[in-house]
Amino acid sequence: MQIASNLSDTSLERLVPDSLDGHDATGQETYELHLARYNFAAQYVTSGPVLDCACGVGYGTAILADAKAAPASVKGVDIDPAAAEYAAQRYAKDKISFHQAHGALLDDPVGFDTIVSLETIEHVPDPVAILTNFERLLRPGGILIGSVPVTPSVDVNPFHLHDFTTASFRKMGKDLGLEELDMLKQNQPFDPFKIVTGKEARLDDMRQNMVQYYLQNPASFLKRCKSTLFDGFNNKYLTMVWKKPA
C-alpha cells in the first residue's frame, strides 16, 4: 500500500514500518522493541475505550485494537499532523480512529478504560502535567501504560527534554496514586563507532557538536560517563503498567 508521506525514513523519532530498509539493522531492532511494548500493553487492554497517545504512524494502535479483550474503540492521537494523517490513511477502520492532538491538552467527555502512551513524556516540557492529564482522563479502575528510556538520551537526542531512571519513572505513577501492576524492561545495544563515524542509518536528528554540548552541560557528560560505566553501550527502556483506584 503506497501512501504519500513527508515523514523521514532516517529519523530517530519516527518509524514507518512500510518504509524500513532491510539493511537498516538499528531501525529494525527499534521497530521490534516498539512492537514488543505494544504487544505487552495489549495484554492489559480492557473492553472499554482505549487511547493511544503519541501513536506515531499508527501500527501500535492497530495492535491495541486487536487485543484479546476486543476494545469497543481505539483512538490514536499524535501531535504531528503528518503522522496522524498517515495513520488515518494506513490503519483507520471500524473502531480505530486517528486525530492530531497534544496529550497534555487532550480532553474527552467519556474518558478511557485504557490509556497507552509509549516513549512520550521525555518529549514534553512538563511530564508531570501530561501524566496528570492521563490520570484525569482515565476512568476509575482504568489502566495506564507508559514507557520511557531509563538511560540518558537528552545528550544525544535534541527532541528529548528529560532523562529518567527506573526509580524516578516509577515514582511518577506512585505520586499520582496509581497502583503498579507490571513492568517490562528492554535493552538495546548500540555501536558507538558507527555513531561517531556517521555509519549509523538513523542520524538525521542526532544532536550535532556533542563536544560543545558537553562543555556547556557538564552534568550531562557525567551522566553519560556513569551510564557507560554501569550500563555499557546499551539503551535501556522501561514500560510501566499502572491501575487507577476504583
CATH code matching the domain that covers 21-243, chosen among 3.30.590.10, 3.30.1330.30, 3.40.190.10, 3.40.50.150: 3.40.50.150
Closest C-alpha among 181, 37, 162, 51 to residue 107 = 51
Banded model confidence at residue 4, pLDDT cuts 50, 70, 90: very low
- Mean pLDDT of all residues in 106-114: 96
Please name the helix (run of DSSP H) or strand (run of DSSP E) that holds residue 199, with its range, or none.
Answer: none
Mean pLDDT score across all residues of the chain: 90
Residue 132, SS3 per DSSP: helix
What share of the chain has pLDDT > 70, as a percent? 87
Residue 209 CB partners (closer than 8 Å, separation 6+): none
H or E stretch covering 25:
helix 25-42
pTM over 0.85? The answer is: yes
Residue 198 has what pLDDT?
55
**Which pLDDT tens digit goes with each residue over 8-66?**
554 556 678 777 766 565 678 889 999 999 999 999 999 999 999 999 999 999 999 99
